[in-house]
């Protein structure tokens, strides 16, 4: 396809490769990041994920040897061959990643005669397992390679042997392991080898395909229907380094407001002022700490965004201010689809300014969502984003504290939007085919920027659809799961992979969105969900209500125990968010992130880390009250009993209904808060520092938890030294904010295992 390499030229850190039939570029961004670019579609990158220049000065060399042209940075080298075959090596010369040269051979093909038969029973039959795409790359796989990331895909943690598609999709059926796509398109994955590790960020927004060795065990491929071949090869020496590099490129989650880490109660179907007041009252009566209640589409007047139904909510402003007195903030859903209705201001304004996407013939494109016929803002245009952002004033003036963007794949009820619907990418006219996967991303950007301008506070925005880089604007949830044990189980690898894809602030609908939960499932889900950064119980209209008090006394007290656990650990979660902002490392982490050389954790689907200090091994199966827990190397302590465990092995652990097995790494310092019903109930609470046996150090972060003054230095950072859980030294690394009224030390003593 490319032919022979004829010659090359170098301009700064970009090497232009002139092949017989095509020109390609390698751009050295940092020691560990090289961009590979073939401008099939546009001359420029036009990335939606990467903002601003990312090039750092790198002293690289370019040498011709007998075989190939070799580009070397201090950390990586890339051998450049004819036909644009590239081989990447680490600094010690180990081959990390080679372009595949052989013929593509599907592992299995169906006999023609069986195809008709299979189709008769309704099976989807793909005759050729080798699907060539107009833009594609095929690279070799080694026997032990494991693959992680790729956003919110269903199924197991290690994506090796599976295939996926990136096309943001709202699929109402129960999410199955075999789904190829869901709501988010994050074309980033990490390949962990027996020796070595690398990441690839394939920055292409068109419908894309990833075959991770399903077609053939000796290669994997990624490709798209259109666009450029534009990928970033990231070669670090550990998984955290790869993730730090990926988030250096695509951005990191900004610190959230502290309250956003509290508990959120939600249900599609809370549809009147009385209902909301009733829920708030019950939360208080049952002593369930809570920081937010979500207003689903029922608050609107006939599902028109930027309206509030006056018949069911006589005075929304007073309602919201009363809830706030109880510490409860309102988060409102906003969908992109604007109802087609004469004299409805959002519609009329958008039409007169030409802000909605259009048909190729130039008419406003109409599909249908909740309000019936609806039109879609062209969020790729800066003026549309500003218009939307300015209108958010409707919500801020009522006292709303956060926005939940939904249906922004965009979902549509009258069939999918055709590929040729006209969209804009900043000032360039393009189509739905290119902008679909970044529609939710651009809507999140409009919301984040608008909210920030209006309030000056850190915006709390949730989004369902994402692209790489959406972490800069929004938190996300995994969409419409169901009250199924399989979905509770899947929540772990799904959230872990989202974290490995640069999206740290995530959560699932606790209890399950669709279908009906059971007391046991609710108890187990809250034990897993209390560790999700986005901590929300949400369910669908038509399914059984799932507020915590509806499952009997036992489940209610279990529920309270885990919400209280979360509130006590809020300083730890907040510290982890600070770490996210600085390094890109997520809050919820698969064990493989920190123990990549331990083969036992490479396919670990039912345990996860919260930061580096806590390991949760929840029960995710019905009827189970004892489970095997694997603890990686080092010494660990049972959070509940303080019993000591040697890592590197499995243990059978008791887990009656009220116990989520939870372990603390030796030497940990856990920063904790006193009990509160909401963040800020105690205006300036003391800090509790739990020192666990073992030696270690910990950095704790403190600021006002609300605005951006920390970026001008208004924060404190404390270094806490833990010497075998006994004595501690606390030193300030940064001083720019007030001190705690008190710091209480709690020394945990080790207990022998019974
Ligand atoms: C979508 C959302 C869900 C919401 C519902 C109604 O299904 O994913 O969370 O409750 O729409 O707005």
Quote the CA–CA distance of 205 and 662 in Å, as a whole number. Answer: 40
Quote the CA–CA distance of 288 and 563 in Å, as a whole number. Answer: 7
Q: Residue 564 corresponds to which tokens in the numbers above?
A: 């209280």
pLDDT tens string 618-660: 999 999 999 999 999 999 999 999 999 999 999 999 999 999 9
Active-site entry in 296, 480, 575, 690: 480
Secondary structure class of 492 (helix, strand, coil): helix
Put simply, whether the predicted model's pTM sits higher than 0.85 gets the answer yes
pLDDT, mean of residues 303-310: 98
Ligand 1 site, residue 333, Cβ cutoff 6 A: yes
Q: Residue 527 corresponds to which tokens in the numbers above?
A: 């034990």
Mean of the per-residue pLDDT values of the chain: 96
Ligand 1 site, residue 480, Cβ cutoff 6 A: yes
Which whole-number Å values give the CA distances from 12 to 71, 203, 228, in the listed order?
Answer: 13, 22, 22
Quote the CA–CA distance of 276 and 159 in Å, as a whole number. Answer: 42
Among 172, 302, 407, the mutation site with the greatest number of ligand 1 atoms within 8 A of its Cβ is 407
- How many angstroms is it from 249 CA to the middle of ligand 1? 31
pLDDT tens string 20-51: 999 999 999 999 999 999 999 999 999 999 99
Radius of gyration from C-alpha coordinates of the chain: 26
Q: Name the closest-CA residue to atom 3, ligand 1.
A: 480
pLDDT, mean of residues 47-68: 96
- How many angstroms is it from 294 CA to the middle of ligand 1? 11
Contact 455, 400 (CB under 8 A): no
Among 170, 297, 513, the mutation site with the greatest number of ligand 1 atoms within 8 A of its Cβ is 513
Q: Residue 554 corresponds to which tokens in the numbers above?
A: 């036992």
> Annotated catalytic, 406?
yes
pLDDT tops 90 at residue 222? yes
pLDDT tops 70 at residue 377? yes
Query: At 377, phi and psi to the nearest 5?
Result: -60, 140
| Higher local confidence (pLDDT), 674 or 103 | 674
Quote the CA–CA distance of 256 and 270 in Å, as a whole number. Answer: 26
In this prediction, residue 128 has a pLDDT band, given cuts at 50, 70 and 90, of low
Element (H, E) at 628: strand 626-631
pLDDT tens string 542-570: 999 999 999 999 999 999 999 999 999 99
Give the DSSP letter of residue 471: G
pLDDT tens string 45-56: 999 999 999 999
Query: In percent, how much of the chain has pLDDT > 90?
Result: 95
Beta strand pairing call for 743-747 and 687-691: parallel
pLDDT, mean of residues 308-327: 98
User: In this predicted structure, what is the pLDDT of residue 433?
Assistant: 98
Q: What is the signed CA dihedral for 307, 311, 312, 313, rounded to 10 degrees?
A: 60
Ligand 1 site, residue 268, Cβ cutoff 6 A: yes
Q: Ligand 1 atom closest to Cα of 509?
A: 9
Quote the CA–CA distance of 230 and 18 in Å, as a whole number. Answer: 17
Secondary structure class of 194 (helix, strand, coil): coil
In this prediction, residue 122 has a pLDDT band, given cuts at 50, 70 and 90, of confident
- How many angstroms is it from 672 CA to the middle of ligand 1? 34
Ligand 1 site, residue 297, Cβ cutoff 6 A: yes
Ligand 1 site, residue 488, Cβ cutoff 6 A: no
Ligand 1 site, residue 335, Cβ cutoff 6 A: no
In this prediction, residue 127 has a pLDDT band, given cuts at 50, 70 and 90, of low
Where do we find the tokens 């930061």? 611
In this prediction, residue 114 has a pLDDT band, given cuts at 50, 70 and 90, of confident
In this prediction, residue 370 has a pLDDT band, given cuts at 50, 70 and 90, of very high
* Angle of helix 570-583 versus helix 553-568 axis, rounded to 10: 50
User: In this predicted structure, what is the pLDDT of residue 106?
Assistant: 82
Contact 577, 611 (CB under 8 A): no
> Annotated catalytic, 92?
no
Quote the CA–CA distance of 360 and 421 in Å, as a whole number. Answer: 6
In this prediction, residue 59 has a pLDDT band, given cuts at 50, 70 and 90, of very high
Q: Ligand 1 atom closest to Cα of 464?
A: 8
Active-site entry in 170, 406, 449, 564: 406
Ligand 1 site, residue 182, Cβ cutoff 6 A: no
pLDDT tops 70 at residue 305? yes
Give the DSSP letter of residue 483: S
Beta bridge partners of 405: 334, 463
Quote the CA–CA distance of 580 and 137 in Å, as a whole number. Answer: 31
Q: Ligand 1 atom closest to Cα of 296?
A: 12
pLDDT, mean of residues 578-600: 98
User: In this predicted structure, what is the pLDDT of residue 130?
Assistant: 58
Ligand 1 site, residue 406, Cβ cutoff 6 A: yes
User: In this predicted structure, what is the pLDDT of residue 341?
Assistant: 98
Nearest CA to 661 out of 599, 725, 614 is that of: 614
Q: Name the closest-CA residue to atom 7, ligand 1.
A: 480
Q: Residue 559 corresponds to which tokens in the numbers above?
A: 């529920």
Ligand 1 site, residue 514, Cβ cutoff 6 A: no
Contact 455, 469 (CB under 8 A): no
Q: Ligand 1 atom closest to Cα of 172?
A: 7
Among 175, 184, 406, the mutation site with the greatest number of ligand 1 atoms within 8 A of its Cβ is 406
Weakest mean pLDDT among 190-199, 286-295, 483-492, 717-726: 717-726
> Annotated catalytic, 564?
no
Quote the CA–CA distance of 175 and 683 in Å, as a whole number. Answer: 42
Q: Ligand 1 atom closest to Cα of 335?
A: 12
- How many angstroms is it from 186 CA to the middle of ligand 1? 21
């Amino acid at each position: 396809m490319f032919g022979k390499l004829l010659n090359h030229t170098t301009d700064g850190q970009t090497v232009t490769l002139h092949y017989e039939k095509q020109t390609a570029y390698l751009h050295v961004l940092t020691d560990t990041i090289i961009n590979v670019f073939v401008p099939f579609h546009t001359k420029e990158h036009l990335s939606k994920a990467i903002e601003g220049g990312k090039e750092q000065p790198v002293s690289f060399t370019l040498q011709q040897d007998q075989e190939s042209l070799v580009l070397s940075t201090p950390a990586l080298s890339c051998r450049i061959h004819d036909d644009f075959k590239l081989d990447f090596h680490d600094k010690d010369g180990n081959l990390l990643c080679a372009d595949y040269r052989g013929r593509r051979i599907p592992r299995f093909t169906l006999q023609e005669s069986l195809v008709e038969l299979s189709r008769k029973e309704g099976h989807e039959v793909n005759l050729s397992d080798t699907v060539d795409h107009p833009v594609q790359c095929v690279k070799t796989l080694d026997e032990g390679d494991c693959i992680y990331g790729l956003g919110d895909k269903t199924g197991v943690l290690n994506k090796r042997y599976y295939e996926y598609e990136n096309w943001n999709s709202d699929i109402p059926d129960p999410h199955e392991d075999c789904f190829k796509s869901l709501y988010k398109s994050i074309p980033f994955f990490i390949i962990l080898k027996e020796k070595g590790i690398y990441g690839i960020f394939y920055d292409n927004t068109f419908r894309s395909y990833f075959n991770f060795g399903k077609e053939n065990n000796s290669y994997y491929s990624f490709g798209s229907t259109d666009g450029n071949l534009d990928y970033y090869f990231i070669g670090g020496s550990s998984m955290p380094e790869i993730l730090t590099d990926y988030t250096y490129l695509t951005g990191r989650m900004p610190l959230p407001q502290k309250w956003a880490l509290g508990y959120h109660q939600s249900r599609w179907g809370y549809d009147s002022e009385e209902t909301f007041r009733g829920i708030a009252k019950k939360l208080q009566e049952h002593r369930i700490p809570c920081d937010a209640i979500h207003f689903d589409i029922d608050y609107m007047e006939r599902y028109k965004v930027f309206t509030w139904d006056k018949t069911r909510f006589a005075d929304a402003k007073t309602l919201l201010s009363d809830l706030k007195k109880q510490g409860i903030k309102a988060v409102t859903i906003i969908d992109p689809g604007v109802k087609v209705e004469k004299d409805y201001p959002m519609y009329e304004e958008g039409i007169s300014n030409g802000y909605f996407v259009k048909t190729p013939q130039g008419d406003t494109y109409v599909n249908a969502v909740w309000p019936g016929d609806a039109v879609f803002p062209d969020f790729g245009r800066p003026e549309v984003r500003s218009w939307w952002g300015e209108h958010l004033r409707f919500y801020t003036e009522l006292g709303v504290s956060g926005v939940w963007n939904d249906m922004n794949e965009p979902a549509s009820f009258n069939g999918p939007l055709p590929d040729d619907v006209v969209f804009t990418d900043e000032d360039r006219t393009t189509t739905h085919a290119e902008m679909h996967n970044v529609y939710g991303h651009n809507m999140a950007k409009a919301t984040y920027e608008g909210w920030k301008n209006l309030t000056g506070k850190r915006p709390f925005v949730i989004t369902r659809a994402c692209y790489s880089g959406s972490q800069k604007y929004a938190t996300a949830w995994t969409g419409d799961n169901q009250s199924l044990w399989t979905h509770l189980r899947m929540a772990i690898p799904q959230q872990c992979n989202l974290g490995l894809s640069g999206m740290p602030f995530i959560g699932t609908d606790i209890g399950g969105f669709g279908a009906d939960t059971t007391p046991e499932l609710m108890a187990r889900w809250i034990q897993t969900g209390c560790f999700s950064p986005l901590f929300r119980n949400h369910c669908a209209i038509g399914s059984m209500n799932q507020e915590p008090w509806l499952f009997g006394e036992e489940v209610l007290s279990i529920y309270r125990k885990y919400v209280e656990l979360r509130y006590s650990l809020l300083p730890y979660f907040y510290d982890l968010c600070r770490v996210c902002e600085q390094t890109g490392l997520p809050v919820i982490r698969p064990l493989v992130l920190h123990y990549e050389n331990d083969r036992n954790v490479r396919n670990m689907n039912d345990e996860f880390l919260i930061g580096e200090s806590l390991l949760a091994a929840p029960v995710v199966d019905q009827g189970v009250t004892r489970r095997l827990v694997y603890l990686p190397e080092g010494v660990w302590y049972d959070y509940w009993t303080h019993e000591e465990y040697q890592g590197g092995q499995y243990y059978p652990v008791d887990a009656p209904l009220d116990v989520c097995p939870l372990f603390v790494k030796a030497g940990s310092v856990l920063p904790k808060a006193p009990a509160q019903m909401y963040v800020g109930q105690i205006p300036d609470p003391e800090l509790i520092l739990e020192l666990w046996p073992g030696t270690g150090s910990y950095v704790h972060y403190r600021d006002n938890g609300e605005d951006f003054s920390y970026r001008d230095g208004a924060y404190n950072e404390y270094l806490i030294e833990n010497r075998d859980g006994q004595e501690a030294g606390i030193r300030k690394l940064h001083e720019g904010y007030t001190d705690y009224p008190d710091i209480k030390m709690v020394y945990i003593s080790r207990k022998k295992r019974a």
